[in-house]
Structure 1
């Protein structure tokens, strides 16, 4: 499979996933509110809704071939931008049962392949 074809598949998958997550920010915002670091200005709900909009917009950019490169760049920035929330989750869940700790810690390294995938979309779209 060519790099261009892999980038297309990755863009479609990421675009659909981001769109789904963006919708969840509006349908069930409470879970996302808890991930917002206290140091950020504004309310957690403002950040939840704002990041939901960013995920919807990025997902749309990835799903449209003409905007796929900018979508890949936006996705890479978004994946880096939400990493502090994943770090906060891992910290907050440090006293939770082991199963929850595994989930929260497992999310941290998963950001790296997501960022790499987004950069590959930029290069090969």
Structure 2
């Protein structure tokens, strides 16, 4: 198991990759934005991508790592409704694609725990 500091950097890489993906291929993320949210899905996609990039940057800097890790855990909990929407919307798709959408649901728990572990990382 990597050290908490290394784990924080790995989590930062995951967040940065996801953040960039929101801008490179926004359409797939737009489709997961719950309809109940005000404004356009593209705005939410861009905002969540920007948040992921900011969280990644915060995890890299030792002085902001703890706060960013706690914010990351909250972010992972906050995007859970989008994952539920995706699983619901994809319920009639082919089994492999549907399985991917369903697998994202329990994945939030280890992501939250990972972020909490990163909060304990020293420089």
* TM band (smaller chain): over 0.9
- RMSD of equivalent CA atoms: 1.3
Aligned pairs for 1:82-121 within 5 A: 82-121=79-118
8 Å Cα contact 1:25/1:52 also seen in 2: yes
> Are 1:64 and 2:48 an aligned pair?
no
Structure 2, unaligned runs of 5 or more? none
Question: How far did 1:63 drift?
Answer: 1.1
Conserved 8 A contact 1:16-1:63: no
- Return the TM-score normalized by structure 1: 0.92
Render the CA deviation track for 1:11-50: whole Å, top value 9, x for unaligned. 1011011111111111110000001000001110010000
Aligned residues: 122
2:114 & 2:59 partners in 1: Cα distance? 12
- Consecutive unaligned residues in structure 1, runs of 5 or more: none
Superposition TM-score, scaled by structure 2 size: 0.94
The structure richer in helix per residue is 1
Moved over 6 A (4+): none
